[in-house]
Amino acid sequence: MNYKIIDGEKVYGYRWIILALMGLACIVVNGSTLVFAGMAGILLNPTGPWAFDAQQFMMLTSCSYLTGFLFCMVTGTMADRMGIKKVLVIGLAISAIGAILRIFWGGFAGMFVTSVIFGFGLAALNANSAKIISLWFPGKMISVAMGIYLCCATVGCALAVPLAGMATEPTPVFVAVAVLSVIVAVLWAVLYKKHPDNEQRIVEPVMKHLGVVVKSKNLWVACLVIGFVMAAGAVNNGYLVAALSGDPTVGGKALDYTFATLTSSICNITCSVGGIMFPLIFSKTHNEKWWLVGLCAAVIVGIGIYWFMLDGIATAVGVMIVSVLVGGVLPLSKALPAQLPDISREHMGAAGGLHSTIQNAFAFLIPSYVVAPICGLNYDLLNGAAYAILTALVLISALFLPKLVTGNRASAAEESSK
């Protein structure tokens, strides 16, 4: 396998194939979680055949995160011990099975259970994304590679929402998701390769292995950061189309439904732009922590302006602009386990598993059982106040992060253990 030396690290050209596989899987599994948001018009219609309430709808848009909460720690630890490829292929295959079952099992209970099964692929991918990227990319490029990877998530969402919004009932959408899920699982089985040098499997006892990870205070801070990031995103993305097209008496902006879905898609694209642009800028600095804090502050100000001070199309434009800043927050938050000074490469799977466990727990529990019951279908509270408060919690958590590692991961780990 061809390689070159960058900043003292051996870097293989095949890393771009690996990133492409991650990106394709990310497009499918993340986009598929937002097909419900695209179908909000038919699922929330009180006179329609489904007529889901606010809590049921939010549970459907975030139920894949429940799987992540339950299984990210397991899939991360298994990858440290069994290897990345085996765990990812199994997880993506289970997702494909869930997607196929969802075609034939209708109603809220059927959609919920099969979507939870579908979340296995997302759990395996989320738990091991930082580990895979830190294996294949040099230290200063970790946030950039993570930005490209997360850009694919927003691309998936940008495609999923308007395409699902064109459907008059869910079955065609579920068939498309099932076909794509099978293709992704097959491609991972055929094309993913073990890293030639650094993918070492842990042989120490499981509890000792996990003990090293859970004792890291820095990792728990990073978990809070990503948890509140994902909870904020789940609230805003889950209700954005409904909020922009909703009744002004409940905080909606009364925009045309088609325009609202288009706005949601554009927001995902502008978020992708930020997800690549900001990590490229930050990779040239010595501590990305303060950039994360600054971006969160800017997002909070932006929410206050576009939701509470603007109306109509001006609000839609404001959402698009702020989504560029949100795009910068996502890769910085997701890459944290690979940049903490006290987490070694050998423990990256378990660390990423814990990180993703908290991420998914917050993304499922906070929107479904805290925000939705309190806010109901009041969009001023959902896409305005709740979104801003959760972003503020990201900012506060980020203040407690240590100085982040941007150089050689192995040498940093060795230095921290001295």
Residue 350, in any domain of the structure: yes
State yes or no: pLDDT of 410 exceeds 70.
Answer: no
* Integer Cα distance of 242 and 236 in angstroms: 10
In this prediction, residue 407 carries a pLDDT of 54
Average pLDDT score over residue span 286-293: 82
In this prediction, residue 411 carries a pLDDT of 38
State yes or no: pLDDT of 418 exceeds 50.
Answer: no
Residue given tokens 């859970």 in the structure block: 214
Residue 130, in any domain of the structure: yes
CATH number at residue 161: 1.20.1250.20
Separation in Å, CA 185 to CA 15, 21, 84, 189: 19, 10, 14, 6
Q: Are strands 3-6 and 9-12 parallel, antiparallel or unpaired?
A: antiparallel
| Burial (CB count <10 Å: 0-12, 13-18, 19+), residue 261 | buried
Which helix (H) or strand (E) segment holds residue 54: the answer is helix 54-82
State which residues form the domain around 308: 17-408
In this prediction, residue 153 carries a pLDDT of 80
Residue 143, in any domain of the structure: yes
In this prediction, residue 43 carries a pLDDT of 83
What DSSP state is assigned to residue 380?
I
- Sorted by sequence, the CB contacts under 8 Å of residue 160 that are 6+ apart come out as 31, 32, 34, 35, 37, 38
Residue 384, in any domain of the structure: yes
361 in Cβ contact with 369 (< 8 Å): no
In this prediction, residue 415 carries a pLDDT of 41
At 28, the amino acid letter reads V
413 in Cβ contact with 139 (< 8 Å): no
Average pLDDT score over residue span 358-365: 84
State yes or no: pLDDT of 409 exceeds 60.
Answer: no
State yes or no: pLDDT of 345 exceeds 80.
Answer: no
Q: What is the pLDDT of residues 158-217, one digit of tens each?
A: 788 788 888 888 889 999 999 999 999 999 999 998 888 766 666 566 667 677 788 889
Residue 190: CB atoms within 10 A of its CB come to: 9
User: For the residues of 334-372, what is the DSSP string, one character each?
Assistant: HTGGGG-TT--GGGHHHHHHHHHHHHHHHHHHHIIIIIH
Residue 372, in any domain of the structure: yes
Q: What is the pLDDT of residues 388-402, one digit of tens each?
A: 999 999 999 999 999
State yes or no: pLDDT of 140 exceeds 80.
Answer: no
Q: Among 231, 333, 321, 337, which residue's Cα sits nearest to residue 274?
A: 321
Residue 35 — pLDDT band, cuts 50, 70, 90? confident
Residue 112, in any domain of the structure: yes
Residue 5, in any domain of the structure: no
Residue 286 — pLDDT band, cuts 50, 70, 90? low
Locate the DSSP E strands across 2-101.
Answer: 3-6, 9-12
Domain total for the chain?
1
In this prediction, residue 202 carries a pLDDT of 62
Residue 418, in any domain of the structure: no
